[in-house]
Amino acid sequence: MEWFVVRMWLRQFLYAVYARRLRKRLDGANLPRHLAMVMDGNRRWARQMGFDDPRVGHRYGAEHLDEVLGWCAEMGIRHVTVFVASVDNMRRRDAGEVGNLMRMIEDVVAERLSRPSSVWRLHLAGRLDVLPDSTRDALKLAADSSRDAARSTADGHGGFHLNIAIGYDGREEIVTAIRALLDEEAKAGYSVADIAQRLTADRIAAHLYTGGQPDPDLVIRTSGERRMSGFLLWQAAYSELHFCDVYWPGFRRIDFLRALRSYAARNRRFGA
């Protein structure tokens, strides 16, 4: 038993030393202004940890988001978008699992983001009409609370913005943005020919869920999957991608710092 305790202490010590070294190397580095994350692998993590009910992973995953946002704030990353659930997740997964995930969103994510101590201003991205009433109301309340907190602080709540992508579909977002732009132009009295002439990528982007925010510089996906799953199809056109083999609840600070180190070492070409 004593040897086990010593080994655990030594492991934690070495982890802390390594994390400090990684953090130090990022001083003055080029870091993303906007970080997007696909928080994948909650259920697989729960099975790996021996839980009988894999849905337990959703609670650990929801609670872990709070910690990761703290890492982002510490590094000065002021825009974060997290992929919580797609429209397909809501429609195709077991009703019990979806209900459990929604409760985690209400009890953990929405509750913590609505606290006065939170530095994050919450923005919602997705079809709220596919969410349960209780989840939709909790998220709207959290968004309103964070907006009020931003107005009440001299520095605009620190300028930290969190987009929660829930009930989200990337292609549907683009269609919705174009539809909103066309409706706006029609109400202003423009003809179809005029609208076509005035149509630009920037004008479409202004009507996306993330309108007014910079596009994500870096997208991290956990769990080892190497695909985007329809996430931020427009905004991530020139994003750098980082795929991490650990499951979301097991995503450690050193995994986060390694992703930033990888990003800082890249020469971004933006399609050139």
- The annotation status of 40 as a binding-site residue, yes or no, is yes
| 86 annotated among ligand-binding-site residues | yes
45 belongs to an annotated ligand binding site: yes
Contacts of 47 (CB under 8 A, 6+ apart): 54, 57
21 has binding-site annotation? no
What residues contact 231, with CB distance under 8 A and at least 6 apart? 36, 38, 83, 165, 168, 170, 219
* Known active-site residue 40: yes
Q: Is 165 helix (H, G, I), strand (E, B) or coil?
A: strand
44 is annotated as contributing to ligand binding: yes
Q: Tell me whether residue 25 is annotated as binding.
A: no
Which listed residue (30, 53, 66, 89) is catalytic? 89
Cα separations in angstroms, 64 against 79, 234, 251: 18, 27, 8
- Identify the H or E element spanning 115: none
Report the alpha-carbon distance of residue 69 to residue 48 in Å, rounded.
24
Catalytically annotated residue among 27, 40, 155, 255: 40
Tokens read off for 40? 């994948």
Radius of gyration of the chain (CA): 20
Instruction: Establish whether 41 is an annotated binding residue.
Output: yes
Assess whether 89 carries a catalytic annotation. yes
- Whether 8 has a binding-site annotation, put simply, is no
Question: Annotated binding residues, as ranges?
Answer: 40-45, 55, 58, 86-88, 93, 221, 227-229, 240
Question: Annotated binding residues for Mg(2+), as ranges?
Answer: 40, 240
* Residues with catalytic function: 40, 89
Question: Annotated binding residues for substrate, as ranges?
Answer: 41-45, 55, 58, 86-88, 93, 221, 227-229
